[in-house]
Amino acid sequence: MQTPVNPFKQAIAGKRTQVGLWCSLLGPLNTEICAAAGFDWLLLDGEHTPNDPMNLLQQSQVIAAYPGVHAVARVPMGHGYVGQALIKQYLDVGIQTILVPMVETAEQARELVRCMRYPPDGIRGMASTRASGWGRNPSYAKEANSEVCLLVQVETQEGVRNVDAIAAVDGVDGVFIGPSDLSAAFGHVGDPWHPEMKKLHGDLFRRIQAAGKAVGILTLDETLARQHIEMGASFIAVGTDSNLMVKATSGLAAKFKGASAPAPAKGQNY
């Protein structure tokens, strides 16, 4: 067996925009429907959903059946022993790319890099797991460090202040801007696209790109998404499975029951 090359990591390093979708409905069937749609990546969310490592394993196995689609998983917490344990489990089930929320300092980012890597570069534990083909790939532990991909979220005032240092950390592959949490942190709760926030997003794009790192963001608005791609977004989520279902089901009910269709979503807790 061979250690899988991480196509997502290669693409964002090469500044090839990767278009993705947020998956929050736990799967596996809805995840398979999304995997067959043709996105470059799907985000399996463990922060704002009851997803656990077993669910993530199932969904990553489903996604693996669709070449060209990459599974990215978000841990609910990346810091401390809880975060360390979860990152270890996510990697061991075979997920190569991990998104970590609420990263505020370069020190936190460096510790996350260590959690992602085997010694001597990190503290990931050695084991014969699914990631290594249950031990059938003897080279896995020597090659995995170069194929794992770490994405960190900047979504607080402290994170914004330290974004240059965070992005400069060796081993951080990309920085994801969290519009909804950022808007709350800066006093614009529920309005992630307030003019002040758009200005901040532009500043963050420039600072992250200046560090030579990939920039990511999520928006449910097509016009904004295309603007972010023009700004140089390397990985962008353009929708969520839950929002697509909300819009479709509410819209269909409104046609037959006379109920009000839902207003376009300005933002959610991503």
Prediction pTM value: 0.94
Which structure tokens are listed for 219? 């928006």
What pLDDT shows up at residue 27?
Answer: 85
Q: How far is CA 150 from CA 125, 136, 241, 252, in A?
A: 17, 25, 23, 39
The model's pLDDT over 66-123, given as tens digits with 9 standing for 90+, comes to 999 999 999 999 989 999 999 999 999 999 999 999 999 999 999 999 999 999 999 9
Q: How far is CA 36 from CA 64, 70, 201, in A?
A: 11, 12, 31
Helices 53-64 and 80-92, packing angle to 10 deg:
30
Which residues of the chain are modeled with pLDDT < 50?
Answer: 269
What pLDDT shows up at residue 227?
Answer: 97
**48: annotated active-site residue:** yes
